[in-house]
Amino acid sequence: MTKKSVIRCLLALLIAAYIGVAVVMANQAAQAARCKGFDIRIVQAEGSRNFVTDAEVRRLLHEWKLDDTDRPAASINLQKIEDRLCAVDNIESALVERMPDNTIRMTIVPMIPVARVFDFNGGSYYINRDGKRLTANARYHIDVPVISGNFDDSLHRADALIPLIEYLHNDSAWNAITSQVMVDRVTRDIILVPLIRGHVVNLGDTSAIPDKLNRVMAMYHKVMPMKGWEYYDTISVKWAGQVVATRRVKSIPEPAIRFDQEGEIEEEDINSMLIATDTDTTAVNR
């Protein structure tokens, strides 16, 4: 080995040793660097409201004894803070991370309710897409679809109706005319209460929702304008391939004007769609 080669090897070893020492010293310095405080950022996502404030987050951290910043930033348990924040009912999500300048950044998204639940067992609360609850009070008022019924934390959960609520919300026509969704106390049938006064829609369960609502809309276009919007008290689509409309017991005057959005419909055409099953119920085939 030549003299130059030896010198090069020694220089390489010295450089490697220097880098190793520098890395160790840098890590030690980083571990010892004091936390420079909390940077709390409240992100108002679409659908969220001002459910969370900077002051409220700092109060919670103090209550949990997690607000001690007079120590090395590396020793602060970021995951514990994040888990505690995510468990708060008016917080949708939280991300806690240590920044290069040794501040602890908390990015928080307030609760995004998709429905308000009125539980016949007592209480009213909002739920998000994951079924997380936010107790309803004057501060947290928000205009979202309403669900009512008897719910519990096992078989009959309000969040089981969220896919239906989201489908209704994403359909412009049904979003405009739906007042609330109810669950029958006895049969557990899912009932839509439209803004159109005079009747309710029985969906049965959450299966085949697009098909069921299409059948109801066909009833609205082809039958209701002729029969009158208060002629039936219930329109049921819980059975496949048909619409069963239950007449009211009391007589309702015929509407003065009969029309359909697609044009006039002859009376015989309407009657051909109707199959009387008994004195109170009329079935409308697809």
pLDDT value, residue 154: 64
Instruction: State the residue for tokens 């899912």.
Output: 190
**Averaged pLDDT for residues 142-151:** 87
DSSP H helical ranges for 161-264: 162-170, 172-177, 209-222, 224-227
In what helix (H) or strand (E) does residue 29 lie, and over which residues does it extend? helix 3-32
Please write the tens of the pLDDT for every residue from 51-64: 788 999 999 999 99
Residue whose structure tokens are 């096992």: 154
Q: Give the global pTM.
A: 0.67
- 30-50 CB burial, b ≥16 within 10 A, e <16: eeeeebeebebebeeeeebbe
User: pLDDT at residue 268 above 50?
Assistant: no
Which carries the bigger pLDDT value, residue 211 or residue 51? 211
Going along the chain from its start, the domains and CATH numbers come out as 38-110 (3.10.20), 146-285 (3.40.50)
| Residue 17: per-residue pLDDT | 66
Closest CA to 231 of 276, 267, 195, 199: 199
Residue scoring higher pLDDT (12 or 97): 97
Q: Higher pLDDT residue, 277 or 250?
A: 250
- Kindly indicate the confidence band of residue 8, based on its pLDDT and cuts at 50, 70 and 90: confident
| Predicted local confidence at residue 263, as pLDDT | 38
**In the numeric block, which tokens belong to residue 93?**
């999500």
Helix (H) or strand (E) holding 259: none
In 3D space, the residue among 80, 108, 84, 79 whose CA is nearest the CA of residue 94 turns out to be 108
Is residue 284 scored above 90 in pLDDT?
no
> Which residue has tokens 């951290």?
61
Higher pLDDT, 7 or 167: 167
For the chain, the average pLDDT equals: 80
More confident residue, 128 or 140: 128
Residues 61-72, mean pLDDT to the nearest whole number: 90
Highest mean pLDDT among 113-122, 128-137, 212-221: 212-221
